[in-house]
Amino acid sequence: MNEPLWAIVPAAGQGVRAGLQVPKQFARIGDKTVLEWTVSRLLALPEVSGVVVAVPPAMPQGPSAVSGFALPGTGLPGMSTPDKPVLFVPGGNSRQESVYLALSAVPMDVRWIAVHDAARPCFTPDLFRRVFLAAKLSLAAICGLRPTDTIKVVRQGSTPVTSLVASTPDRDSLLAVQTPQVFEAGLLRRAHREARDRGFVGTDDSQLVEALGHPVAVVQGERQNIKITYPEDLETAMKRLIEDSPPRRTVRGRSFRYRRVGRVRERCGGGVTVTGFGFDIHPLTAGRKCVLGGVLIPSDKGPLGHSDGDVLCHAVMDAILGGLGRGDIGQWFPPGDPRYAGACSVGLLRDMWKRLMDEAEVLHVDATVVAETPKISPFYGAMRDAIGQALEISPSRVSVKATTAEKLGSIGRGEGIAAFAVVTLRKRPEGLL
């Protein structure tokens, strides 16, 4: 008997404890975001028929961060079929609300629903299957670990900055709960509906099922199934995912489309690959800050310009605009406009790309700075990071290098600085956005 299972991934949170410039689910591990790792590993499971991702309502990071799911040739680990939809819905102000909203996108004929944290990319297929098997027996199942540390219940002390121990529970009766959690679809829908009607808020989905009086089965979790919460967790996950990742492979001969269901969008691939070329040059002037690729370079001279004069970012911007046939940066950010006086060019690059990202995906950036001074090579990594963040791609897709003019011309005399950039983009199919 075929009993399809869909997965819901709540990914609308801000993840502030991770201390990153983007929500932790959109942080990159290798060439993919945490969210991409999580969803691709779910898609690799034969038991999973589809995935619904609840993203921030305004989707400031979502389209770029997850555009690779259905694109051929992305080498997502274990993705074995193009027939599994990945749907995106705007999430809510809480995890519980995001799951509730995602439930509306799960087809009504689906028998089982798994809920899995976006920031838990290191779960194994074995863990998922053990939870699913337990759910088939009891209609609701979770996984977790007994705490190894002694746990204290505390209460507020006599001063605002002190706490006192109230009790010490038996840790053998405690469980640190993980995901995935798997439920019979009708049971999970009822639990969320009744919790919403009563104004009840739980910290996970199983708590809502418990509130119905329904038993929830428990299986042994995994130590490696960490939830990325703090910066050090990202490093731990990176080591495990990169080491365990199978070799890249290219998926050929597929046809993909977009599908909208109200405000729900299914992201799929297609389009044509294009290349754009960019060039910029500025005089060097004493007393100006030297900013290249969004990085401040120690120097007694810097590029003179209406903005910060970042020739590297300007060349990348022009290359993108050239590849898409969208004019040049002078049209987008006129040099006489007072709004852009002294503007941060990497910020302009970010703003420009946010307006263009629905038209294309950046596959690779190759840029060369031409200057006699200052010395740029120590800052290559920082420049790649800054440009990658502005374009919401992995720094591994950005190449920055430098050369001199061999003492020839104004650049050779140290009077100016220039940059060339070539950007490869995949344009999305017209008429599908």
Q: Does 170 fall in a domain? A: no
Return the top range by mean pLDDT from 33-42, 72-81, 233-242, 375-384: 33-42
pLDDT-derived band of residue 243, with 50, 70 and 90 as boundaries? Answer: low
Whether 117 and 227 have beta carbons less than 8 Å apart is answered as yes
Burial of 109 (0-12, 13-18, 19+ CB in 10 A): exposed
Q: What is the mean pLDDT of residues 121-141?
A: 94
Residue 238: pLDDT band with limits 50, 70, 90: confident
Domain count, the chain: 2
Question: From CA 308, how far away is CA 417, in angstroms rounded?
Answer: 13
- Domain of residue 350 covers 272-427
Euclidean distance between CA atoms 134 and 136, whole angstroms: 5
Q: Are residues 288 and 259 in the same domain?
A: no
CATH code where residue 292 lies: 3.30.1330.50
Is 361 found in the same domain as 217? no
Mean pLDDT of 405-417: 86
End-to-end Cα, the chain, rounded Å: 38
Judgement on whether residues 98 and 190 belong to the same structural domain of the protein: yes
Do residue 328 and residue 239 come from a single domain?
no
309 and 253 both lie in a single domain? no
d(CA 15, CA 411): 46
pLDDT averaged over every residue in the chain = 82
Q: Where among 266, 300, 332 does a domain terminate?
A: 266
123 inside domain: yes
Task: Assess whether 260 and 280 both reside in one domain.
Answer: no
The reply to whether 190 and 52 lie within a common domain is yes
Confidence of residue 386 (pLDDT cuts 50, 70, 90): confident
Tens of pLDDT, residues 190-235: 999 999 999 999 999 999 999 999 999 999 999 889 999 887 788 7
Q: What is the pLDDT of residues 277-299, one digit of tens each?
A: 999 999 988 888 888 998 888 88
Domain for residue 42, yes or no? Answer: yes
Q: In degrees, to the nearest 5, what angle opens at C-alpha 422 toward C-alphas 316 and 298?
A: 50
Residue 26's domain is classified under what CATH number?
Answer: 3.90.550.10
Last residue of a domain, one of 232, 266, 300: 266
Q: Does residue 164 lie in a domain region?
A: no
The per-residue pLDDT for 374 is: 84
276 lies in the same domain as 351: yes
Q: Which residue has the higher pLDDT, 111 or 301?
A: 111
The pLDDT of residue 8 is 97
pLDDT tens digits, 315-359: 999 999 999 999 888 889 888 788 888 888 888 999 899 888 888
Q: pLDDT band at 427, cuts 50/70/90? A: confident
Average pLDDT over residues 11-25: 69
Query: Is residue 260 located within the same domain as residue 342?
Result: no
Which residues on adjacent β-strands are paired with residue 365? 398, 423
Q: Which of 224, 250, 266 is the last residue of a domain?
A: 266
pLDDT in the model for residue 410: 85
- Determine the pLDDT at residue 406: 83
* pLDDT over threshold 90, residue 411: no
Is residue 168 included in any domain, yes or no? Answer: no
Q: Describe the crossing of helices 185-198 and 95-103 by its angle, rounded to 10 degrees.
A: 130
In a shared domain, residues 212 and 341: no
Q: What sign does the dihedral 171-174-178-180 (CA atoms) show?
A: positive
pLDDT one-digit tens code per residue, 132-175: 999 999 999 999 999 888 999 988 877 766 788 999 998 888 99
CA 341 to chain centre: 32
**79: closest CA among 48, 46, 52, 44?**
44
Provide the pLDDT for residue 24. Answer: 82
Kindly state whether residues 259 and 284 are assigned to the same domain: no
Half-sphere exposure of 296 (CA within 13 A, CB side): 5
**83 or 20, which is more confident?**
83
Q: What is the pLDDT of residue 303?
A: 87
* pTM tops 0.85: no
φ, ψ at 178 (rounded to 5°):
-120, 180
pLDDT at 278: 93
On whether residue 152 sits in a domain, the answer given is no
In a domain, 286, yes or no: yes
248 lies in a domain? yes
pLDDT above 80 (res 250): no
What's the pLDDT band for 98 if we cut at 50, 70, 90? very high
What pLDDT does 19 receive?
Answer: 52
For residues 239 and 278, state if they share a domain: no
